[in-house]
Amino acid sequence: MKTEHLVSLEIFCLHNEVELSFIYRLHEFGIVNLFKISQQDYLLRDELADLEKMIRLHHELNINLEGLHAIKGLLEQIALLKHELKNANNRIFP
């Protein structure tokens, strides 16, 4: 994997004022993916917006990790359904 698509976990946590342990807990719940390269953990740039959304939900609304996991699953389902609807519309109305 090319490192230009990755962001250092430590830099992300410093910038967003988030504890490293919180991100590791999100990773344990399957909410965020971590990649280890040369003993350092990285996040995918493409997943940062979703991660920041989960952090805000946790801090502002006090949603626990189980709730965040459920929300992530629902958001993924919505995205999939939107994609399927767009494909169906494209077949019906070319």
Q: Can you give the pTM of this predicted structure?
A: 0.84
Per-residue pLDDT of 22-73, as tens digits, reads 999 999 999 999 999 999 999 999 999 999 999 999 999 999 999 999 999 9
The phi-psi region of residue 44 (left if phi > 0; otherwise alpha if psi is between -120 and 50; otherwise beta) is beta
From the options 3.30.565.10, 2.30.30.110, 3.30.470.20, 1.10.1660.10, give the CATH code of 3-92.
Answer: 1.10.1660.10
Residue 93 has pLDDT above 80, yes or no: yes
pLDDT interval class at 4 (50, 70, 90): confident
Residue 3 has pLDDT above 80, yes or no: no
Distance, C-alpha 72 to centroid of its chain? 8
pLDDT interval class at 21 (50, 70, 90): very high
Specify the length of the chain in residues.
Answer: 94
Instruction: Tell which residue, 29, 39, 37, has the closest CA to residue 73.
Output: 29
